[in-house]
Amino acid sequence: MNHAMKIALRRILIIGVFLAIWEGASGRLMSPFFISRPSAIATRLWSWAIDGSLFINMAITAMEAIAGFVIGGVLGALAGLALGRSPVLAETLNPIINAFNSLPKVALAPLFIMWFGVGYEMRIIFTAIIVFFLVFLNTYSGVRGVSRELVNVFRLMRAQERHLMRMVIVPSAITWIFAGLRLSVPYALIGAIVSEIMASNAGLGYLIAYYASQFNAAGVFAALVGVMLLSFLFNAGIRLLERVLMPWQEVDEQREVTI
Amino acid sequence: MTASDSAATALMTFADIGKAFGQGASSITVLRDINLSVARGEIVALLGPSGCGKSTILNIIAGLLTPSTGVARYAGKAVEGLNHQVGYMAQSEHLLPWRTVAGNIQAPLEIAGQSRQAMTRRVAELIDMVGLKGFAEAYPSQISGGMKKRTALARLLAYDPETLLMDEPFSALDAHLRLHLQIELRALTRRLDKTLLFVTHDLEEAVTLGDRCVVFSARPGRIIKIIDVPLPPDRDIMRLRYDDAFPKICRELWSLLAPELENSPA
């Protein structure tokens, strides 16, 4: 048996034991009213899968999260690059940006509902703002971390700012941009789901809120499984994108390491 | 060519250059009273203990640092802002880890706005010239230290600067590899008709490469002596150590350098 299979088997074992204890405890140690039971959750998921409502609601949440993720990520990266390369701009704007960043974004949700209504626009903007700050801050520190010697070597080669951006700055910062993006995945979901819980009639957040209001623990847990599934897919997507955009990293990982 | 040669034909001149870093009481003087002129096509080795300001001279002529006193001239004009006639190679190669060997060498050609065919042709030529055949598609993390130096050298030659500034580029390599690269560097500099300013703390390297050796004192660096190396321009570096002139000139340099090493902090 190879290493990967052993690891997978261990994981399945841990999850299996956890589910078995949960199933066993439900009804004996704790009321299923509060914790439901894995079999009931599986049944619920199965019925949602058959009538398609699982995928519809997942797709709605995914659409909002992805749209917010893309808008916030692109704007965050651009702002990070601009401020990272312009000391004057950075000096001027940094305290303002930090002040905004220190606000808990969830506290802005009611204001956003007031401004943009309860439609998907509000949820996308809300998600985008959360992602923006994470990606911006990472990109900014990435750009500031670019070796100034390297920049000088290229400036002696007559490189203009656009050459520097394309050849040196963006590729150096891209590992940081991705660190920001990876960090943003759960927050993008938080943004989409929190806003769905607050104001929506569709999406996984709506399912969570709806079944909780019905005191239906199995429904809530089933929706949470959907959230986990979505986050898993998002992370896989980011990893794929990293492979495609940073081929040199894979080479470096495969290198045999010595001292 | 001697130290006092006419400044009129010189490609680079340093007139009463001094440089201090920091301000007030905490300022540190690294260079003072530097007077030196370098002719076109010359290979000049700057030799001195570490911290004596040799590298500062390269940075001044490249326009990366401004001297505190004096004037540095390049081709008759005072250096102001970046000097694009020079190419700089430091101890670290400063390669782009996200580009292959070929991609790194191509970078200056892209900046110059060359066509794709012209770039491909030139990159192949350079890879051949520095002996990197078969490694064009490797990333810097996959190649040895010597090959990284070769890549950096090819990139330097790609944009064809008339003057090469080198700051101990081979110091991290083993003796044999260093010898090979010294041979190739001298041959290439001669063949391509470049001028080379080469900073080193290794006196054998200074003798091997240089037409002239400029010996610096410990910090604050000033020029103790400028010595013409009495070896032929087309020297056979592999057999240089059999030449009677070689140990003689090394001894002379050592007699100048040794007292300075005692003065410089370990």
Q: What is the pLDDT of residues A40-71, one digit of tens each?
A: 999 999 999 999 999 999 999 999 999 999 99
Residue B90 · residue B169 · CB < 8 Å: yes
Calculate ∠ Cα B215-B221-B224, nearest 5°: 35
- Contact with chain A for residue B121, Cβ under 8 A: no
Q: B111 contacts in A (CB within 8 Å)? A: 154, 157-160, 163
- Judged against a pLDDT cut of 60, whether residue A7 lies above it is answered with yes
The Cα–Cα gap between A59 and A198 comes to: 18
Helix (H) or strand (E) holding B227: strand B223-228
Provide the pLDDT confidence category of residue B7 given band limits of 50, 70 and 90: very low
CB neighbours of A190 closer than 8 A, spacing ≥ 6?
A: A130
Cβ contact A157–B159 (<8 Å): yes
Contact assessment for residue A172 and residue A180, using Cβ atoms and an 8 Å cutoff? no
- At residue B178, does pLDDT exceed 70? yes
Per-residue pLDDT, B266: 55
What three-state secondary structure class fits B95? coil
pLDDT confidence of residue A2: 85
Confidence class for position B103, pLDDT limits 50, 70, 90: very high
- Residue B161 CB partners (closer than 8 Å, separation 6+): B84, B85, B86, B87, B194
Question: Which residue of B lies nearest to A160 if distances are taken between CA atoms?
Answer: B111
Test B96 with A149 for CB contact under 8 angstroms.
no
ipTM score assigned to the predicted complex: 0.85
Nearest chain A residue to B139 by CA distance is A248
Write down the pLDDT at residue B262. Answer: 79
Token pair recorded at residue B47:
């030799």
Pairing of the two strands B77-78 and B212-216:
unpaired
Answer whether the bond into residue B230 is a cis peptide, omega within 30°: no
Find where tokens 């749209």 sit.
A67
**pLDDT above 90: residue B9:** no
As a whole number, the mean pLDDT across chain A is 89
Shortest CA gap B243–chain A (Å): 38
Furthest C-alpha separation in chain A: 76
pLDDT of residue A47: 93
pLDDT in tens, B219-246: 888 888 898 888 887 777 777 778 888 8
| Each residue's pLDDT tens digit, A156-210 | 999 999 999 999 999 988 888 888 888 888 888 888 898 888 888 889 999 999 9
Q: Which of A219, A239, A234 has its CA nearest to residue A68?
A: A234
CA separation for the pair B58, B196 (Å, rounded): 11
The residue type found at A127 is T
Q: Does A168 touch chain B (CB under 8 A)?
A: yes
Q: Which H or E run contains B177?
A: helix B175-191
How far is the alpha carbon of A31 from chain B, nearest alpha carbon, in Å? 57
Kindly state whether B81 is in contact with chain A, defined as any CB-CB distance less than 8 angstroms. Answer: no
| Confidence bin at B1 (pLDDT 50/70/90) | very low
Per the structure block, which two tokens stand in for A103?
Answer: 């606000």
Q: Shortest CB distance from B111 goes to which of A147, A163, A171?
A: A163
Q: How confident is the model at residue B86 (pLDDT cuts 50, 70, 90)?
A: very high
| Cβ within 8 Å, pair A156-B62 | yes
Q: What is the DSSP string of B181-208?
A: HHHHHHHHHHHTT-EEEEEES-HHHHHH
Would the CB atoms of A153 and B88 count as touching at under 8 Å? yes
Residue with tokens 């959750």: A41
Instruction: With H, G, I as helix, E, B as strand and everything else as coil, classify residue B262.
Output: helix
Rounded to two decimals, the pTM is 0.80
A53 vs B: CB within 8 A: no
Q: Does A14 touch chain B (CB under 8 A)?
A: no
Model pLDDT, residue B2:
44
- Strand B223-228 to strand B212-216: parallel, antiparallel, or no bridges (unpaired)? antiparallel
How many CA atoms within 13 Å lie on the side-chain side of A119?
4
Instruction: Nearest chain A residue to B84 by CA: give it.
Output: A156
pLDDT for position A145: 87
Cβ-Cβ contacts under 8 Å, A157 against chain B? 84, 87, 107-108, 111, 159
- Kindly list the residues from chain A whose CB atom is less than 8 angstroms away from the CB atom of residue B163: none
B62 pLDDT more than 90: yes
Q: Compute the average pLDDT of residues B17-29.
A: 85
**Average pLDDT estimate for B150-176:** 90
